[in-house]
Amino acid sequence: MILGLIWPWLQKLGLGRLPGDVAVERDNFQFYFPVMTSIIVSLVLTLLFWLFRK
């Protein structure tokens, strides 16, 4: 939910349209799955939680 709230700012940083993100656009259909963005966000959050735990 928090990621959804800060998504507009993350897009300004370049996240959301990285190579590896799947985007399919048809006449009246759009599908977007941010694979690479999800991996990067997951790695950053894992590192932050690991650092704060110690």
What are the extents of the domains in the chain?
A: 10-53
Whether pLDDT at 48 is above 90: yes
* pTM metric for this prediction: 0.65
Distances (CA, A) of 50 to 27, 30, 38, 39, 44: 44, 36, 18, 16, 10
Give residue 4's Cα distance to chain centre: 10
Residue 13 phi, psi dihedral angles, 5° rounding: -80, -5
Which DSSP category does 18 fall into?
-
Compute the mean pLDDT over every residue in the chain, rounded to the nearest whole number: 84
- What are the tens digits of pLDDT across the range 9-33? 777 777 767 788 888 999 999 998 8
* Helix or strand (DSSP H, E) at 36: helix 35-53
Determine the pLDDT at residue 3. Answer: 67
| Amino acid at position 39, single letter | I
